[in-house]
Amino acid sequence: MSYKDKLDKKNLPQHVAIIMDGNGRWAKGIGKLRIFGHQNGVSAVREAMEGCVEIGVKYLTLYAFSSENWKRPKLEVQALMELLVNTLAKETQTFMANGIRLNTIGSISDLPKNCQEKLRESMELTKNNNACVLTLALSYGSRTEIVEATKSIVRQVVEGKLNITDINEKTISDNLFTSDLPDPDLMIRTSGELRISNYLLYQMAYTEFCFLEKMWPEFKREDLFEAIYHYQQRERRFGKTSEQL
């Protein structure tokens, strides 16, 4: 029996965030160049997207390229940018067929111009889709995001648009890159690494974590369903006791 059949459709995570890790190590393990792993990781992205739509998860956020990833070898970064453009062009049909709206977070202005243009094209084309919001975290780092949110709030105070005594948790959330997204309910990381790598630090205060041993190119929608099944077995108390729930 598939884990999909075991899921409680009334207790699905609204938002799943994924750290797509292990592309390079998977490729090296079979004697290929790292970019071969990134290329094969595209099919796993499709599995995650279509799996979310299939069961009704409304938000999927993928850590596609961190702000620290710019430190990687120049040829690998260039190949990743080219892969992003080519993938967006090829996957447009998948977005439309599944009702997926494309969204981005991060320092998008750091990306090459052709990447920015292709992202804008895809977001414009899919803007009316409402089955699932796919957010790509690109040139993204959560500490930078928090710094930028802080600057934005300070500007509002200086300009007299915000009283310092009115600043609260919602103020911070409203000034993050993810202001139009709910906080993640479930975070999945592949490759066996047990860290969150500067990803959605503020947003994941009460997120449930799932760490998988398999590398990202090996990820299938059944892995998504299994992670959600185990998520549903957990008791999310948000500071309360079990008796209060």
Which listed residue (11, 21, 110, 198) is catalytic?
21
**Dihedral (Cα; 123, 225, 214, 104), 10-degree rounding:** 20
Q: Put residue 232 in one of left, alpha, beta given phi > 0 → left and psi -120 to 50 → alpha.
A: alpha
Is 69 among the residues known to form the active site?
yes
For residue 80, give Cα distances in angstroms to 12, 65, 97, 215, 216.
32, 9, 25, 18, 15
Is 21 among the residues known to form the active site?
yes
Residue the block writes with tokens 């710094």: 147
**Dihedral (Cα; 123, 11, 203, 92), 10-degree rounding:** -20
Which listed residue (8, 23, 40, 69) is catalytic?
69
* Residue 17 CA to its chain's centroid (Å): 4
- Residues designated as active site: 21, 69
